[in-house]
Amino acid sequence: MANLPPPLSMKSVALSGASSPSSSSNNDRKLSSAEQLILDLSNPELRENALHELSKKREIFQDLAPLLWHSVGTIPALLQEIIAVYPALSPPTMTPAQSNRVCNALALLQCVASHTDTRMLFLKAHLPLYLYAFLNTSSKSRPFEYLRLTSLGVIGALVKVDDTEVIRFLLQTEIVPLCLWTMENGSELSKTVSLSIFRCFSLDSHA
């Protein structure tokens, strides 16, 4: 895996965006909670709860994406969660619990993919490629569909910024055939999301 994130102080990342002294106490409490949960991701015994809490509260944690990216061991921990379910994809034996857990990890990656400070770092590390196995499935059971939609959400977060560099990077991968596959084999919702992503590629190619 190339271009793994360098270590950086969590506090220096989060506090750089502090807005005013009056909000510093609340920011400190949120930072402390986020820091502990991110540290818990590196502990296999605490990771499941940390994944759940961080994904549930990701909108309220300021600059969560840089915190995730620059904290030591966090991105490898999320990738471990993704890789761990590969054997359950074929034959399709993934359980709802497995699906929920890996989708929580994907939700955090979507946070990283959406953030202006981490989007290109995410791409340069080729992290979208880890999601493609989830799009290359045909099972319509709920665990697989949930996983498919969450993976599409990460790709959608990348393409919605209308960045030509992002689009060109993705076009060098297998994303277009996978979108077409999903439009043929996914549920109505995943077909709709795939079509939306595919249109972004089409619009860019005609720009």
CA distance 145 to 61: 28
Asked, for residue 1, whether it belongs to a domain, the answer is no
Asked, for residue 47, whether it belongs to a domain, the answer is yes
Tens-place pLDDT, residues 21-55? 555 667 677 778 899 999 999 999 999 999 999 99
Asked, for residue 5, whether it belongs to a domain, the answer is no
CATH number at residue 19: 1.25.10.10
Our count of domains for the chain comes to 1
User: What's the domain range around 138?
Assistant: 10-205
Tens-place pLDDT, residues 148-195? 999 999 999 999 887 889 999 999 999 999 999 999 988 999 999 999
Asked, for residue 185, whether it belongs to a domain, the answer is yes
Residues near 26 by beta carbon (within 8 Å), at least 6 away in sequence: none
